[in-house]
């Protein structure tokens, strides 16, 4: 590429609208078909680990003893396998962007003890 063409491109870039936005202060409309990110309704989760076993990227970690369910959003490829396989249907794909993070750490959620439902006599 000639230096004239390169200079013209650089100058042109100064007057063009920026390609990026100041996320999260500014947001763009969600594109059609956006899969979003995995959300767990921890009130329903039974910590069975099926989602973790089915995840092709090992993005989910279940700690039954510590009663936590964790997802590493930097590993998740939004395949939806965990959502399809969860026996309690507590996983869903939220078609919005996940909150921005400053560290590449998993998001950890506490799973409450579920009270056993007593059958009424």
Q: Which span (10-18, 22-30, 73-81, 113-121) binds ligand SF4, by CB under 6 A? A: 73-81
- Residue from 9, 88, 94, 108 binding ligand SF4 (CB under 6 A): 88
Say if CB 69 and CB 60 are below 8 A apart: yes
Residues 6+ apart with CB under 8 A from 81: 54, 55, 56
**What is the pattern of x (binds ligand SF4, CB under 6 A) and - over residues 27-66?**
-----------x-x----xxxxxxx--xxxx-xx-x----
DSSP 78: -
Residue-level length of the chain: 121
Q: Measuring CA to CA, which residue among 117, 116, 115, 112 is closest to residue 40? A: 112
Decide if residue 81 touches ligand SF4 (CB under 6 A).
Answer: yes
Q: Give the torsion sign (CA, 86, 91, 97, 100).
A: negative
Number of residues that bind ligand SF4 (CB under 6 A): 29
With binding defined as CB under 6 A, does residue 115 bind ligand SF4? no
Judged by beta carbon, residue 30 or residue 114, the one nearer ligand SF4 is: 114
Binding site for ligand SF4 (CB under 6 A): 38, 40, 45-51, 54-57, 59-60, 62, 69, 71, 76-82, 86, 88, 90-91
């Amino acid at each position: 590429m000639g230096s004239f063409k390169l200079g013209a491109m650089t100058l042109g870039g100064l007057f063009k609208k920026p390609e990026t936005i100041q996320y999260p202060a500014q947001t763009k409309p969600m594109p059609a078909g956006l899969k979003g990110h995995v959300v767990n309704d921890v009130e329903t989760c039974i910590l069975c680990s099926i989602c973790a076993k089915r995840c092709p990227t090992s993005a989910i970690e279940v700690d039954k003893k510590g009663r936590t369910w964790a997802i590493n959003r930097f590993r998740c490829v939004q395949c939806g396998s965990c959502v399809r396989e969860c026996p309690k249907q507590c996983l869903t794909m939220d078609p919005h962007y996940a909150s921005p993070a400053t560290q590449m750490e998993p998001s950890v959620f506490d799973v409450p003890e579920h009270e056993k439902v007593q059958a009424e006599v």
